[in-house]
Chains A and B, each alone.
Chain A
């Protein structure tokens, strides 16, 4: 069974600063994928970034980057130049091999202060 751990229930960040959201995972599979989603108060789940277990480089998507440390089984999300619109819940998720089911962490609430 896969397990995703997000240890930060909530974080505050100043506008224009960077913030790192922690995510660790546990799986015995060698092939897996890691996802980050943003969930604003509206409830929709917005896909942010994906990292495959065999990807040699860290994934980046605009202001989002994923700090993937395979040996430590961590996949931290870095949001650079925070904006007020980044205030939301952020979820780390994982799927293994060719199974498209996602397992989610508990989530981290980010509040961006002006």
Chain B
């Protein structure tokens, strides 16, 4: 199984500022995903972080708001830009293990509150 860490675990930010969330995996993985979970809601996929190329965004999410970096096969960052209270959510990165194992793991999440 993959061990995934995220930083920060939580933060409280002022509107209009930006926060960068880091995701570190203990092994090389081809795919990494970023999800958002708004309060009381289910998880929604933001984007797929691609190593060596631009991230692929889902409908409703744009690069200017959620820029993503993937400098190598074990690390990715998600930035939440120009934050508003509506961005208050848990942000989670996820990696599939692939192969014969069909597990798909999540990082511990970053709980963001925007005031």
Contacts and interface: CB of A to CB of B under 8 A. Distances in A.
A6 B35 CA distance: 19
Report whether over half of chain B's contact residues are helix, strand or loop; otherwise say mixed.
Answer: strand
A91 B90 CA distance: 15
Given A42-B108, A100-B31, A102-B45, 9 more contacts: A35-B104, A43-B108, A43-B109, A45-B106, A47-B103, A50-B103, A52-B102, A101-B45, A101-B48
Contact of A43 (B42, B94, B102, B111): B111
B105 A44 contact: no
Interface of B: 31, 33, 35, 37, 41-45, 48, 90, 92, 94, 96, 98, 102-106, 108-109, 111
B42 A100 contact: no
A47 B43 contact: no
Interface centre among B35, B45, B104 (most CB of A within 10 A): B104
Contacts of A91: 42-43
Contacts, number: 50
A68 interface: no
Contacts of A43: 37, 90, 108-109, 111
Nearest to B10: A43
Interface of A: 33, 35, 37, 42-45, 47, 50, 52, 91, 93, 95, 100-107
Contacts of A95: 104
A33 B98 CA distance: 12
A106 B42 contact: yes
A64 to B, nearest CB: 13
Given A101-B45, A104-B43, A105-B42, A50 B102 contact: yes
10 contacts: A33-B102, A43-B37, A43-B109, A44-B106, A44-B108, A45-B94, A45-B106, A47-B105, A102-B94, A104-B42
